[in-house]
Amino acid sequence: MKRAVALLGKELADLRLNPALFLPAALTGFVSILLPFFVAIVVPAFAGERLSDSSDFQIAVELYRVQPGLRDLSSEGAIQAWIFQQFLVLLILTPVAASMSVAAYSVIGEKQARTLEPLLATPLTTFELLAAKVAGALVPAVSLAVGCFVLYFAGVAAFAEPGVYQALLTPASLAIVFLLGPLAALVALQLAVCVSSRVNDVRSAQQIGALVVLPIAGLLVMQLTGSFLLTLPVIAALTVGLSIVNAALMMVGIALFDRESILTRWK
């Protein structure tokens, strides 16, 4: 694995020198963080109305009131906690968006820059090459997601009603950000790397890898409509499912990575 670590070091060094590559992902993360603050705090403040004045959110009040330890939350706080909880799913999008552009470029980029052939002429195995490419996209993506998570919770602690922060900081929230987020990102970027080693155009890889965004968006909608809630058992099941998908994708990636066709078919 020493060789994979060496290539990972190169990938990260290259990214440090090209921070613009992460700008779209950072923007996605920033918007993901900002959106619930607008809904829960900024809009009501400008409108001069409290969320608890509306009967639409009574379900949130009842949901939080029945949970031990959260009964002391004000009605406004319970609704804010519910909103911030639902939008937490958006934080899964941050690593996906962040990893996509990097992963999509990983193999095609090397080919276009004519750096792939010398790389393939080294003792580096296909597994080492793909592992380094995947990790090279995942590490910065997860770092960005963690940064967003910290900002999100700092914002909640600073601007939301008292007790909302504690209501949000649950094992489920942590699992969404630190387990589901990276695993979903891993699926996306492995897909992108697989595609990156088969197509001749970075855009194709990005578009196919972006398909992973669709289930995440679906998850958010289902959360908001209350038809599907990310409880701990659901998160555990998703974690197992995504882990299996990731292992399978790595094997598929190795099988699909055809050095010969990459060298001879692409121009």
Partner 1 sequence: MLTASHLSRRFGDRVAVDNLSFELAPGEIFALLGPNGAGKTTTLRMLAGLIAPSSGDIRIGGETLTRRNAPRLRQRIGLLTEAPGLWDRLSVRKNLEVYARFYDIERPERAVDEALDLFDIRNRAADPAAQLSKGLKQRVALARTLLHRPDAVLLDEPTSGLDPESARDVRELVLRLRGERRTVVLSTHNLDEVDRVADRVAVMRGRLVALDTPSALRARVFGARVRVVLATSEARFAATVNAAGFQDVRTTADGLSVGVDDPQSSAPEIVRRLVEAGAAIVSVTDEQPPLEDVYLRLLSEAQE
Report whether 152 contacts 33 (CB < 8 A). Answer: yes
User: Which has the closest alpha carbon to 145: 264, 26, 5?
Assistant: 26
- Told to check if 121 binds partner 1 by CB under 8 A, we report yes
Report whether 22 contacts 140 (CB < 8 A). Answer: yes
Q: What is the smallest separation between the CB atom of 5 and partner 1, expressed in angstroms? A: 8
Q: What is the smallest separation between the CB atom of 132 and partner 1, expressed in angstroms? A: 10
**Using CB under 8 A, which of the segments 69-77, 84-92, 149-157, 256-264 binds partner 1?**
256-264
Residue whose CB is less far from partner 1, 120 or 199: 120
- Told to check if 117 binds partner 1 by CB under 8 A, we report yes
Q: Which of 123, 171, 227, 233 binds partner 1 (CB under 8 A)?
A: 123
Q: Which of 54, 58, 67, 125 binds partner 1 (CB under 8 A)?
A: 125
**Using CB under 8 A, which of the segments 65-73, 76-84, 109-117, 195-203 binds partner 1?**
109-117
- Told to check if 53 binds partner 1 by CB under 8 A, we report no
Q: What is the smallest separation between the CB atom of 2 and partner 1, expressed in angstroms? A: 6
- Told to check if 9 binds partner 1 by CB under 8 A, we report yes
Q: Which of 66, 113, 158, 214 binds partner 1 (CB under 8 A)?
A: 113
- Told to check if 267 binds partner 1 by CB under 8 A, we report no
- Told to check if 186 binds partner 1 by CB under 8 A, we report no
Report whether 223 contacts 229 (CB < 8 A). Answer: yes
- Told to check if 6 binds partner 1 by CB under 8 A, we report yes
Q: What is the smallest separation between the CB atom of 102 and partner 1, expressed in angstroms? A: 14
What is the contact surface with partner 1 in residues (CB under 8 A)? Answer: 2-3, 5-7, 9-10, 13-14, 17-18, 113-125, 259-260, 263-264
